[in-house]
Amino acid sequence: MEKINNESKVLNALRLGDAQAFDTLYHHYSKPVFRKLVNMVKHVPLAEELTQDVFVKIWDKRAIIDIEKPFLYYLLTVANHTVSDFYRKAARVSRLQEEIISASAELYNPIEEQLFYKESRDILDSAIENLPAQQKLVFKLCKIEGKSYEEVSKELGISTSTISNHIVKATKTIKMVFFGSKSGFVLLVLSLLQNKS
If asked whether residues 89 and 14 sit together in one domain, one would say: yes
Of 79, 106, 133, the domain-final residue: 106
If asked whether residues 73 and 120 sit together in one domain, one would say: no
Q: How many structural domains compose the chain?
A: 2
Q: In this predicted structure, what is the pLDDT of residue 196?
A: 39
If asked whether residues 119 and 166 sit together in one domain, one would say: yes
Kindly report the CATH number assigned to the domain that includes residue 12.
1.10.1740.10
The average pLDDT across 132-139 equals 92
If asked whether residues 95 and 118 sit together in one domain, one would say: no
List the single range of 43-47, 130-134, 144-148, 172-176 with lowest mean pLDDT.
172-176
If asked whether residues 23 and 36 sit together in one domain, one would say: yes
Contacts for 79 with CB less than 8 Å, ≥ 6 apart: 33, 36, 37, 40, 50, 51, 54
The average pLDDT across 132-148 equals 90
Q: In this predicted structure, what is the pLDDT of residue 6?
A: 83
List the single range of 17-21, 42-46, 89-93, 154-158 with lowest mean pLDDT.
89-93
- pTM recorded for the entire structure: 0.49
- What gap in Å lies between CA 51 and CA 58, rounded to an integer? 11
Kindly report the CATH number assigned to the domain that includes residue 164.
1.10.10.10
Q: Sorting pLDDT into bands at 50, 70 and 90, what band is 102?
A: low
pLDDT at 135 over 70: yes
List the single range of 4-13, 32-41, 105-114, 138-147 with lowest mean pLDDT.
105-114
If asked whether residues 166 and 182 sit together in one domain, one would say: yes
Contacts for 29 with CB less than 8 Å, ≥ 6 apart: 71, 72, 75
Domain of 150? Answer: 110-192
If asked whether residues 12 and 102 sit together in one domain, one would say: yes
pLDDT at 197 over 50: no
If asked whether residues 48 and 23 sit together in one domain, one would say: yes
Among residues of the chain, what percentage have pLDDT more than 90? 40
More confidently predicted of 120 and 123: 123
